[in-house]
Structure 1
Amino acid sequence: MSEPAPGVPVCYRHAGREANIRCQRCERPICTECMRDAAVGFQCPSCIKEGARSTRQGVGPYGGRRSARPQLTSAVLVGINVAVWLAVVATGWHASRLVYRISLLPVGLCESTADPESYFPAADSAALCAQTGSRGEWVPGVADGAVWQLVTSAFTHVELWHIGANMLALFFLGPQVEAALGRARFLAVYLLAALGGSVAAYWLSSVDGYSLGASGAIYGLFGALGVLIQKVGGDLRSIAGLLVVNLVITFAVPNISWQAHLGGLAVGALVTAIIVYAPRGVRRPVVQWSALFGVTALLALAVVLRSAALA
């Protein structure tokens, strides 16, 4: 074989062979033997191998790493909810003193020490509750600084039908959303939807009641799945029909927090839209996580403003 003329590029894999083609991925010169068909142009064997390895590692369409077991995260979330429910049952179930402490109380209440299901409505401050002596115990609400209730309430259930319906929906919807977004982004959608539902309930519900349940997060998954179906041009009718049925139940059945449901739905859809419509490129994760931090900051600001109004 004759040597290439001076100045003619040579294949980086086969010294001495002319290379008039460059790999579309690494841009190194390759000879005809090393040319591999790619989606656009040709790639070298090394880049083909690297591409296959990356595909096996599973980077998802929206920047997240594909979950090897998309059901796992939902199963863990179900386990946490069930564990909290069992703790409520073990400490008295409907009469459990744990319920008021981890549910969402907009303002504190003076709980009866004789009957945990009763409280002293006139004793609406810790000072007034103290005047009841041993008959009352002050339980702080979010406005009193119990901000953890915004999160713990989304993992708290009392009624068996309540936790059963929510966990069934989570196990049906969760793996589908995680399969598309990856584990970290799925958790961001779930937790921010839960927080969004709690913030909506904190703003819009009566200050005399309390809220609990994973429904805000579940409705967030409805919103997320709707955005994902819309993004790929799918048929929204199936998820829309299921959502309409759930919304009818939300407004038709008494004592269901429509505020948390709609808040979770809106935040879940918004967060998912941020993730899937973020511009492609190496900076996509930065844009996604920065925007999600911004949503978190806005929700935190809403909590601060509401707490100031209730102070």
Structure 2
Amino acid sequence: MSNAPVPPDGPIGAEPETPVCARHSDRPTRLRCTRCDRPACPECLRDAAVGMQCVDCVNEGKRSVRGARTLVGAEDSGRRVLITPILIALNVLAYLVTVVQSGSVQDNDRSDLFQTLSLIPPFAAAGEYWRFVTSGFLHFGLLHLALNMAVLYIVGNHVEPELGRLRFVGVYFLSLLGGSAAAFYFGSVCQNLAGASGAVFGLMGALLVVWRRKKRDISTVVVVVVINLVSNFFTNASLLGHLGGSVIGGLLTLAMVKAPRETRNVYTTVAFTLAILLLLGMFALRTAQLDTLSEIAAETLRTCR
């Protein structure tokens, strides 16, 4: 045994105990996170603006930093869409069911499902209120479906990321109801209405507002809208339904983009509430009118007998 003096810090060449990774206790490391100063192995470190940070600090930083926002305050989803393909799938599924039931690709309106869910004003006024919504998922033939779904795909891929999924769903369904309400309130009793055109026109109205606000060229959208509206005079499409949907969709989006950032949610809630009340009022008033007409017709028949 040697009697040589030992340095106060231990034998020459000796090293202090090596720390271990804060997330992996079996991995010794001399690396540290520049943010929290905890030991971290190379697998747990990520490049940062200054030095390297552990994955825990990186994740905490992501949560504390607010992401980019769109014009209406929705989180920027990077142009990813989810609701648009779901809506297209629902419309296609409803069409396929009516084709199978009717045995016809073009005359699918003869199916039981079509007759139960399409918007026939007297039936809707008699209490079958679901027709105001379900009629927006039915189409007269393959061409009608293809045109609406093509426009929905194109416009939805622009509007959904701008509005966010929740607002997009709200604008879509209120535009659908806007089309139903306009056709039901102002249109003829003797009609059978179906199609997603009211909702699609509502999204086109929303796209016009958003692009106008962002100072983008809206001439293409205007041309598409005008062509579709003019085509109503040469087809069986409902001009009233198209106009009703576009007005509701455009006004709702205008309220959202014009709202002050601090009170945007309040403005949005008020706008959607007013739209719902307006549509419910139109449904109620027209239903009362049709009830009165039914009573007059029944009394006339009794008198004639």
Fold shared per TM-score above 0.5: yes
* CA drift at 1:286: 2.4
Q: Distance in 2 between matches of 1:287 and 1:145?
A: 33
Match in the other structure for 1:168: 150
1:76 alignment partner, one of 82, 86, 95? 86
Q: CA deviation at 1:254?
A: 2.8
Pick one of 101, 108, 123 that aligns with 2:116. Answer: 101
Map 1:288-307 → 2, pairs under 5 A = 288-307=268-287
Q: Give distance in 1, aligned partners of 2:162 and 2:91.
A: 24
Q: Which of 65, 69, 89 is 1:53 aligned to?
A: 65
> How far 1:62 moved relative to its partner?
1.3
1:222 to partner: Cα distance: 1.1
Distance 1:236 1:263 in 2: 21
Q: Could you tell me whether the CA contact under 8 Å between 1:78 and 1:170 is conserved in 2?
A: yes
Unpaired runs of 5+ residues, structure 2, are: 1-34, 36-57, 103-107, 292-305
Distance 2:277 2:269 in 1: 12
Measure, in 2, the Cα distance between the counterparts of 1:175 and 1:52. 29
Amino acid at match of 1:296: I
Match of 2:258 in 1: 277
Q: Distance in 2 between matches of 1:51 and 1:96?
A: 52
Match of 2:141 in 1: 159
CA deviations 1:248-306 (Å, max 9, x no partner) are 2122x23111110111111111111111111111x321221232122111111110011
- Counterpart in the other structure of 2:239: 258
For the residue of structure 1 that corresponds to 2:65, the secondary structure is helix
d(CA) in 2 for partners of 1:170 and 1:214? 9
Q: Which structure shows the bigger proportion of residues in helix conformation?
A: 2
Spell out, residue by residue over 1:226-259, the C-alpha distance to the aligned partner (whole angstroms, 9 max, x if none): 11111122222121112111112122x2311111
Q: With the length of structure 2 as denominator, give the TM-score of the two structures.
A: 0.71
Structure 1 residues 94 and 295, CA gap change in structure 2 (3 angstroms):
closer
Answer yes or no: is the 8 Å Cα contact 2:109–2:115 preserved in 1: no
Match of 1:221 among 177, 200, 203: 203
**Is the 1:193–1:265 contact (alpha carbons within 8 Å) kept by the matching residues of 2?**
yes
Check the 8 A contact 1:189/1:221 in 2, yes or no. yes
Q: CA deviation at 1:51?
A: 8.7
Q: Which amino acid aligns with 1:79?
A: A
Percent sequence identity is 38
2:267 equivalent among 287, 293, 296? 287
Q: CA deviation at 1:69?
A: 5.7
State the Cα RMSD in Å: 2.2
What TM-score do you get using the length of structure 1 for normalisation?
A: 0.69
Q: Which residue of 2 aligns with 1:127?
A: none
List aligned pairs for 1:1-311, cutoff 5 A: 49=61, 53-55=65-67, 58-67=68-77, 70-92=80-102, 93-107=108-122, 141-251=123-233, 253-281=234-262, 283-311=263-291
Structure 1 residues 94 and 147, CA, compared in 2 at 3 Å: closer, same or farther?
Answer: closer
**Structure 1 outlier segments of 4+, above 6 Å:** none
Offset of 1:79 from its aligned partner?
0.5
Name the count of aligned residue pairs: 230
